[in-house]
Amino acid sequence: PRIEHIRNFCIIAHIDHGKSTLADRLLEFTHTISEREMQEQVLDDMELEREKGITIKSHAIQMEYEFGGKTYTLNLIDTPGHVDFSYEVSRALAACEGALLLVDATQGIQAQTISNLYLALDHDLEIIPVINKIDMEGAMIDEVKEQIIDLIGCYEEDILLASARTGAGVEQILKAIVQRIPPPEGDPDAPLQALIFDSMYNSFRGVVAYYRVFNGTLRKGDKVKFVNTGREYDADEVGILRLRLEPRDQITAGNVGYIITGIKSASEVRVGDTITLVNNPCQEAIKGFEEVKPMVFAGIFPVNTEDYEELRECMEKLKLNDAALTFEPETSQALGFGFRCGFLGMLHMEIVQERLEREFHQSVITTVPNVSFIAYTTKGEKIIVNNPSEMPDPGRLSRVEEPFIRAQIITKPEYIGNIMTLCLGKRGTLINQHYLTPTRVELIFEMPLTEIVFDFYDKLKSQTRGYASFDYHPIGYRESDIVKMDILLNGDKVDALSALIHRSRAQEFGRKLCEKLKELLPRQQFQIAIQAAIGSKIIARENISALRKDVTAKCYGGDVSRKRKLLEKQKEGKKRMRQIGSVEVPQEAFLAVLKIN
Ligand code: GDP
Ligand code: MG
């Protein structure tokens, strides 16, 4: 296609406002997907996305649309709405010139409507505001129009009305995309510059990279070079993204496509890298993406210690499709070799663990998550602590700082009381309270990140019956009374169960953890003491009394085969146990911690 006939756009909105459903209607209207292939939220093709009903990955797809006697090529990128995946959104935006900003007519503007809008404005995108779900009984079209005009300063006529369910307004949206979003700029004859914005591992094809061509043309068979890694490859296949990959002879400036190069190792492809030609290279790489800052850290270990290398390969492959995941090797006395991983939040952590299990068939143990702290030693050294084992001993420690965030909550006035109680209980301070309209209020709090990362979202939902939306941004580190709490089994420290925690929370957390472990540890031939400690001070304790009889005793001497079977069974069970000093700990004990709040 000629560059003036290309439009690149994404759909942004608060979660559940109908992005994926609108994408369905656009694909249907443009006959991109046949009736037979059509299903609800067709772009959410990952098993986990379908199960959870949420978009986790950005999904790019190309459509053709006839308008005014011309055929336009529209590249649509559907994006996730959850805070944990905003890095996916910001990369998608870099490939676009415009965005549909969708607002649910029954909900109005919500926290992520605003944060995603700001992301889009940062990328200078043309914004097309759309009020969705106008078919619903509770649609408040006039009120939501006012909110949108207030927020983006547009004219009332600029706002489109649609129903992604019935298809109303879809044609107007397509027209607006062609008329209002500018075509990409770029020179198809200049040296190639293509920005990689996503990639994935396919077990048959190897690494597939998705890119937006800014300048030049990428042809099948070209010798290409990845500018940042300096590596060279053959472009074995190039093409466009439809429901499946569709090969083409070339991808020209302004367009979005994929490349398959026979890359073997996942670590060679980096999101944000620029593809150019070996023979006619560009002068410089396109400015890539801002480095992601993980918010939550946890260890991931293979259940069977011998699967470490395999797990590493799988993590690298997963990282291809999840640029926000970071990891580095870590060793634990209790769990052996594994990885210290960084995540954008708890949902991200859960998704990574599930994808490792489902897509890569790895069984893993995840350890207690924590945020990143800064510790200063008495000698004035500054230490970044992403792992409880990195925290200096109390004797060397001068002070600790923890990350704070600014939380924005939009809700109905009747829930202010509950939200205040919740946030103050989470060590938060109210900074501002502001009525957007008589029935909608915005509350701003400053809170420790660690307090919102774990169960804040669920609590907020239940305290407001779902009538609160929430978004947050880091605002730096503040001094705080953070301690390292250890768990001891018969006096031996279990490093994988250590946690970094605010002193005011330690006692309760320690007690609950000891109780939980008491339930989970099998009785053994001797008494087991389970203790929670801060330094040398014990803050909680439980005992498991000794098992009195040998299990084989009841198979009186005679029946040898039965006795052997029982021993066999015990051995099987032991495989899934980890030996801590004298005590055997089942795998599930390491997971139990995650279920305590
Ligand atoms: P996303 O999180 O923004 O991608 O939202 P989804 O597309 O997954 O939609 C969330 C829910 O809203 C789904 O149950 C949709 O069926 C529903 N939905 C989306 N658009 C409309 C609409 O225009 N009208 C009605 N009644 N429901 C809609
Ligand atoms: Mg979606």
Looking at residues 74-93, what average pLDDT do you find? 86
Q: pLDDT band for position 563 (50/70/90)? A: low
Ligand nearest to the CA of 45: 2
- Report angle CA 326, 332, 337 to the nearest 5 degrees: 65
**Distance from residue 54's CA to the centre of ligand 2 (Å):** 5
Residue 174 Cα, ligand 1 centroid: separation in angstroms? 19
Closest CA to 180 of 79, 101, 242: 101
The answer to whether residues 76 and 177 touch, using CB atoms and an 8 Å cutoff, is: no
CA terminus-to-terminus distance, the chain? 55
Give the residue, 295 or 141, on which the prediction is more confident: 141
Q: What is the rounded CA–CA span in Å between residue 146 and residue 249?
A: 48
Is the confidence at residue 555, as pLDDT, over 60? no
CA of 164 to the centre of ligand 1 (A): 7
Q: Is the CB of 41 under 6 A from ligand 1?
A: yes
Per-residue confidence (pLDDT) for residue 423, from 0 to 100: 96
Span from the CA of 396 to the centroid of ligand 2 (angstroms): 49
Q: Are strands 98-104 and 6-13 parallel, antiparallel or unpaired?
A: parallel
Does the beta carbon of 80 sit less than 6 angstroms from any atom of ligand 1? no
Considering every ligand atom shown, identify the ligand nearest to the alpha carbon of residue 59 and give its number.
Answer: 2
Question: Is 16 labelled a binding residue?
Answer: yes
- For 235-291, the pLDDT digits (tens) are 999 999 988 899 999 999 999 999 999 887 778 888 889 999 999 999 888 887 877
Cα-to-chain-centroid distance, residue 25: 26
Nearest CA to 241 out of 218, 219, 210, 272 is that of 210
What pLDDT is recorded for position 448? 96
- Residue 59 is inside which H or E element, if any? strand 59-67
Query: Do residues 104 and 148 lie in contact, with contact meaning Cβ atoms separated by under 8 Å?
Result: no
Q: For 411-434, write each residue's pLDDT tens digit.
A: 999 999 999 999 999 999 999 999
Structural tokens at position 147: 């909110």
For residues 24-36, b (16+ Cβ closer than 10 Å) or e, as one string?
A: bbbbbebebbeee
Lowest mean pLDDT among 136-150, 382-396, 576-590: 576-590
Q: Please tell me the predicted confidence (pLDDT) of residue 243.
A: 85
**Cα-based distances in Å from 289 to 92, 207, 266, 326:** 11, 20, 19, 15
95 or 35, which is more confident: 95
**Number of the ligand 1 atom closest to the C-alpha atom of 166:** 23
The whole-angstrom separation of Cα 22 and Cα 51 is 19
Q: Is 7 in the pocket of ligand 1 (CB under 6 A)?
A: no
Q: Rounded to two decimals, what is the model's pTM? A: 0.82
Which atom of ligand 1 is the closest one to the Cα of 15? 2
Torsion angle of alpha carbons 165, 167, 172, 177, nearest 10°?
Answer: 60
Q: pLDDT tens for residues 465-511?
A: 878 888 888 899 999 999 999 999 999 898 888 999 999 999 999 99
Under a CB-based contact definition with an 8 Å cutoff, are residues 75 and 60 in contact? yes
- Ligand 1 close to Cβ of residue 21 (< 6 A): yes
163 lines ligand 1 (CB under 6 A): yes
User: Which residue, judged by its Cα, is nearest atom 24 of ligand 1?
Assistant: 133
The complex's ipTM works out to 0.99
Helix axes 308-321, 346-358, angle to 10 degrees: 120
Burial track 5-23 (b if 16+ CB lie within 10 A, e otherwise): bbbbbbbbbbbbbbbbbbb
Residue nearest to atom 17 of ligand 1 (CA): 18
User: For ligand 1, what atom is nearest to the CA of residue 21?
Assistant: 7
pLDDT digit string, tens, across residues 173-215: 999 999 999 999 999 999 999 999 998 888 888 899 999 999 9
Confidence (pLDDT) at 575: 53
DSSP per-residue string spanning 144-168: HHHHHHHHH---GGG-EE--TTT-T
Mark the residues whose beta carbon lies below 5 A from ion ligand 2: 19-20, 55
